[in-house]
Amino acid sequence: MSSELEYLKSLVAQLNEKIKVLEAKITPSPVEQLRTILMGPPGAGKGTQAPLIRDKFCVCHLATGDMLREQVEQKTKLGLQAKKIMDEGGLVPDDVMVGMIKGELENNQKCKNGFVLDGFPRTVPQAQKLDSMLDSRGEHLDSVVQLLIDDSLLISRITGRLIHPASGRTYHREFNPPKKPMTDDVTGEPLIQRSDDNVETLQRRLKTYHSQTGPVAEYYKAKGLWHGIDAAQSPSVVWDNLRGVFRSN
């Protein structure tokens, strides 16, 4: 009986040790915690890379456009405030957007190891307000990554883009077509082409992006946080470059 008990104890000890090893592999250490901003024009690949960053580093993906829509739908205090402003044709104030981000950092358990911020900041005052909010929490950015790509290539990418509205999954008629035309591979639901995914609208959006984002990039370059990555490469190469940036921080 005693030998059997000893055997079981040793087995439990081995199992506990194995559990520790496995937990260490899937639970990020403090070194792997990450607070980063992903910048880039529409179609540069933020929607492809941000979920990879989220899953690899176990951080939250804060896409400010999605956050804003969600807050409006849930009729939160900030959402109601933003809806009133948008209904009147105004732009949502920076303080409201920073407040939404702060709310996620405080209340979203997925943000405990950090975040990848997508779609904000778009101006230097927004970047300054974001810095102030993070300072108040005793946090700081680790990096700011800008996906760099030629406008002409972007236009060919975006005009062929197809989207599954419910999940945000994206396809491309030429580069990444769905298995069945205009049908989501996972759910079988219809895909759509966004109404603003046309050449004229895209050229206007790119002009706005460049005029706003140039100063933001310079702001973060001065802080030593900015990294540029060639987004014309294949998504897997872009991902390898991203991981290289995060390892070097």
Give the residue numbers of the binding site for ATP: 43-48, 161, 170-171, 233
Catalytic site includes residue 180: no
| Residue ranges of the binding site | 43-48, 64, 69, 90-92, 119-122, 126, 161, 170-171, 194, 205, 233
| Residue ranges of the binding site for AMP | 64, 69, 90-92, 119-122, 126, 194, 205
**Residue in 56, 205, 221, 243 annotated catalytic:** 205
Q: Residue 38 and residue 7: Cα distance in Å, rounded?
A: 53
Catalytic site includes residue 161: yes
**Residue in 77, 180, 194, 204 annotated catalytic:** 194
Catalytic site includes residue 157: no
**DSSP string covering the chain:** -HHHHHHHHHHHHHHHHHHHHHHHHHSPPGGG-EEEEEE--TTSSHHHHHHHHHHHHT-EEEEHHHHHHHHHHHT-HHHHHHHHHHHTTPPPPHHHHHHHHHHHHHH-GGGTTEEEEES---SHHHHHHHHHHHHHTT----EEEEEE--HHHHHHHHTTEEE-TTT--EEETTTB--SBTTB-TTT-PBPB--TT-SHHHHHHHHHHHHHHHHHHHHHHHHTT-EEEEETTS-HHHHHHHHHHHHHH-
Q: Residue 60 and residue 113: Cα distance in Å, rounded?
A: 8
Sign of the dihedral defined by the CA atoms of residues 75, 77, 80, 86, in that order? negative
**Residue in 122, 169, 173, 221 annotated catalytic:** 122
The residues annotated with a catalytic role in the active site are 46, 122, 161, 194, 205
